[in-house]
Amino acid sequence: MPRRCRPSPTPLGISKSVSGTSALPVAPSVSQSRRVVVTGLGCLTPNGSDVATTWESVVEGCSGAARITRFDPSDLPVQIACEVKDEPELANVPSKEARRMDRVLRFALLAAQEAVSHAGLDFDATDRERVMVAIGSGVGGVETLIANQRILETKGARRVSPFVVPYSIVNMPSGMVSIHFRLGGPNLSHSTACATSTHALGESAEAIARGVVDVALAGGAEAPMVPLTIAGFAAMRALSPNSESTRASRPFDVGRDGFVLGEGAAVLVLEAEDHALARGAQPLAVLSGYGASADGFHLSAPDRSGAGAIRCMRSALARAGFEPSRVDAVNAHATSTSIGDVVEARALREVFGRWTDHLPVSATKSATGHLLGAAGALEAILAISALHAQRLPPTINLETAGPGCELDHVAGKARPAQVAHILSNSFGFGGTNGSLIFSHPDA
């Protein structure tokens, strides 16, 4: 049975060794590309207030789910979620300003601060105009928007906050981080539903590879815990109605019936390898491959043939210059929905063929819930952590694989494994797909 537990912070055991300087395969659109590495990680999640506590919680099979506390959910058809429990104080931000911000902005800043600190980045010694920020969000500052709609209806237009627009727009997590660190490079915000931060990472890596920038702070942030969001997802039958919170998210299981909504933020520092080595940083991972595609099929349902997901994963493999057999493990998108999990399993079998039976698959949303726009970046952090721990996180609550979901599941508990390359998938509403491949720097 999964546990709702909060392990003490422990080191990830990341070995910061440096690989050679061989370039990535040339992308079709560029004549030459630089190797892109990860040098810093930061997150705030339902499972922990930083990377170390989050990893320990997830790898130990602890669930971040519980009854909703931010409001009384008694009138809603779904009353559980994966909420952030411990929100640290922001450094170098006046407390009054921090309290005024929408939570999605604080989440983004907290994750970015941890990532920058982890990377050892000194922006005073860096060309700030060659540092980009790409932190996306699915729903942005929805708490601010809903709160001010209530003020408008009860107290009138004059009482509406002048911050309602800047704090609610989707690009402000990225904007706030750019402002906080006084960065002058591109300031972008992807909003591609559940694939948001995967696309943010992939597109940032492409910008670095092309020489547009040297460094990127990339990821996603989400704070969707308002009654309307819960009610909306429930109306779509996307959320699990299971009131036993820690057992509700069960990707690939025969009894799966929807996801558990999550919140938080995850940010990674990406750098050109030559830039990282020149400043004395040692890479945590190489972002070896990135693929993106569209289903062109339906508002929320995936193409049941898996064609879009198949193209996406094959594109990531091609960008990395990998045969399918090079991939040692998969962090699946797997949201615990009846159709989506089957389609992803079908796509994995098509892409990896005879290797599929020996390809371990983890579905970490079983523990963290679905962080929407922040999910891909969080799962990238978990994949990189797995590369260094040589331990694959489990899919909790997976007891019996459902029809069509038969894979080499890391079910129930973590699995020791020799892994050099991990593929991570993100598939979103609107048929938007993203896949990333992370490699150990020594691989």
Helices (H), 210-285: 227-235, 273-278
Tell me the C-alpha distance between 265 and 275, whole Å. Answer: 26
Q: What residues pair up with 166 in beta bridges, in sequence order?
A: none
Is residue 15, in this structure, part of any structural domain at all? Answer: no
Q: Can 370 be counted among the known catalytic residues?
A: yes
Q: Global pTM?
A: 0.93
Q: Can 333 be counted among the known catalytic residues?
A: yes
Which pLDDT belongs to residue 2? Answer: 60
From residue 79, alpha-carbon distances to 46, 69, 87, 225 in Å are: 16, 9, 22, 11
> How far does CA 313 lie from the centroid of its chain?
17
Task: Spell out the residues 6+ positions from residue 333 whose beta carbon is closer than 8 angstroms to its own.
Answer: 194, 340, 344, 365, 425, 426, 427
- Nearest 10 degrees: Cα torsion 75, 76, 78, 84: -90
Task: Specify the DSSP class assigned to residue 156.
Answer: -
Which pLDDT belongs to residue 20? Answer: 33
* Residues in the chain where the model's pLDDT stays below 70: 1-32
Which pLDDT belongs to residue 401? Answer: 99
Q: Can 5 be counted among the known catalytic residues?
A: no
Is residue 3, in this structure, part of any structural domain at all? Answer: no
Residue 279's domain spans which residues?
36-439
Q: What residues pair up with 422 in beta bridges, in sequence order?
A: 329, 438
Tell me the C-alpha distance between 51 and 47, whole Å. Answer: 10
> How far does CA 417 lie from the centroid of its chain?
22
Is residue 361, in this structure, part of any structural domain at all? Answer: yes
Tell me the C-alpha distance between 309 and 233, whole Å. Answer: 23
Q: What is the CATH number of the domain that holds 399?
A: 3.40.47.10
Helices (H), 218-270: 227-235
Is residue 27, in this structure, part of any structural domain at all? Answer: no
Closest CA to 403 of 329, 321, 346, 328: 346
The residue annotated as part of the active site, out of 118, 370, 388, 440, is: 370
Is residue 28, in this structure, part of any structural domain at all? Answer: no
Which pLDDT belongs to residue 33? Answer: 82
Which pLDDT belongs to residue 32? Answer: 58
Is residue 148, in this structure, part of any structural domain at all? Answer: yes
The residue annotated as part of the active site, out of 43, 82, 194, 312, is: 194
Is residue 119, in this structure, part of any structural domain at all? Answer: yes
The residue annotated as part of the active site, out of 118, 333, 388, 421, is: 333
Tell me the C-alpha distance between 372 and 210, whole Å. Answer: 29
Q: What residues pair up with 415 in beta bridges, in sequence order?
A: 392
Domain count, the chain: 1
Is residue 245, in this structure, part of any structural domain at all? Answer: yes
Tell me the C-alpha distance between 64 and 54, whole Å. Answer: 10
Give 58-73 pLDDT, tens digit per residue.
Answer: 999 999 999 999 999 9
